[in-house]
Amino acid sequence: MRRGLILLTLFLAACQSPDAIKERTPESAPERNLLMANVVIWWAHGNEPFWKFTADSGKVRFESLGETAEYFPYSEFGNEDSTRTYKARNEHTTIEIRMLQQVCIDNMSGAQYPWTAEVTIGKRKLQGCGERGRLME
**Residue 76: what are its φ and ψ, rounded to 5°?**
-55, 140
- pTM reported for the whole predicted model: 0.71
Greater confidence (130 vs 17) lies with: 130
pLDDT in tens, 114-125: 999 999 999 999
**Residues in contact with 126: Cβ distance below 8 Å, sequence separation at least 6, in sequence order:** 46, 49, 51, 117, 118, 119, 120
Average pLDDT over residues 14-25: 47
pLDDT in tens, 47-95: 989 999 999 988 999 999 999 999 999 999 999 999 999 999 999 999 9
Domains, the chain, in order of start with CATH, read: 34-132 (2.40.128)
